Chains A and B, each alone.
Chain A
């Protein structure tokens, strides 16, 4: 059978103007999406600024392009301020601890004494700003002061702290005396 050629024989083409319109139409969705993104970005930024007044109050310019750099420098200045206050507080805390340590050993001593029913004779206390010692006698059939408790309390704050039982002797009948020394360094 003979084949029929029904085409006109012309090549299908677009004019340049039609082609440009086609291109323009093809980029329209992207342009609108881009535009929505930009508006969304502005909206979100203004929402954030409303929710964070501490940031908004510290902005010198509301220009969105400089917002991030302004926030970065705000963070840096706040961090530096925070560190300054921390350092100052730490200094005062150290001073307070230092002053507290001037008499803490005596506070512990009298506090422990008040917990026992034994009698005590305080022979001497010496503190020169760095080193201290307490010399005392405890009277009773057994020593009621727990050297372990005392050690745990004072060893945290003083260097080379030691509780030493120097002597233990019968005193009157079954009554004994226990001669103790506490010593340590600040």
Chain B
């Protein structure tokens, strides 16, 4: 029969009790508390990414619409000689509307020097190439 001195047995049991309790507290701290906190922050990150993607997708839809506006415009080539009032209204019409994708604009008056307004009629050569 194996006999263990009571003092040694009690001390050993106490030591094992403390050790196992520390181990379980360590497990709780790391595997439960920290793990769940870490997981929650990752879940929050997923949510914020989803929201960001949703916002960017909406923004993308608006941008695509804006892009479609000038992409759908037919290529324009205007070359004409017009008076100053006509030119003014034409430019107002062109510039107040949608975006114009152009790579060439030429506006040239028939006279170069400063003029006394309303005394001499001015003609303008107007060229606009609108391409995309």
Which residues in A have some Cβ–Cβ distance to B below 8 Å?
11-16, 18-19, 22-23, 25-27, 29-31, 33-34, 37-38, 40-41, 44-45, 48, 51-52, 54-55, 58, 67-68, 71-72, 74-75, 78-79, 81-82, 85-86, 88-89, 92-93, 95-96, 99-100, 102-103, 106-107, 110, 119, 121-129, 132, 137, 139, 171-172, 177, 179
Contact = CB atoms under 8 A, between A and B. Distances in A.
B43 interface: yes
B36 A27 contact: no
Contacts, number: 200
B6 to A, nearest CB: 4
B49 A78 contact: yes
B76 interface: no
A125 B11 CA distance: 100
Task: Specify the main secondary structure of chain A where it touches its partner.
Answer: helix
Given A78-B53, A121-B115, A123-B109, A26 B13 contact: yes
Contacts of B17: 26-27, 29-30
A124 B12 CA distance: 102
Nearest to A25: B13
A2 to B, nearest CB: 29
Nearest to B125: A124
Contacts of B28: 33-34, 37, 40
A159 to B, nearest CB: 17
A55 B46 contact: yes
Contacts of B79: none
Interface string B4-21: 111101101110110011
Contacts of B99: 96, 99-100, 102-103
Nearest to B95: A107
A89 B3 CA distance: 80
B132 to A, nearest CB: 8
A177 B32 contact: no
A122 B101 contact: no
A177 B70 CA distance: 39
B33 to A, nearest CB: 9
Given A37-B31, A126-B105, 11 more contacts: A12-B5, A13-B4, A16-B2, A38-B32, A45-B36, A51-B43, A52-B43, A99-B101, A102-B101, A103-B99, A126-B107
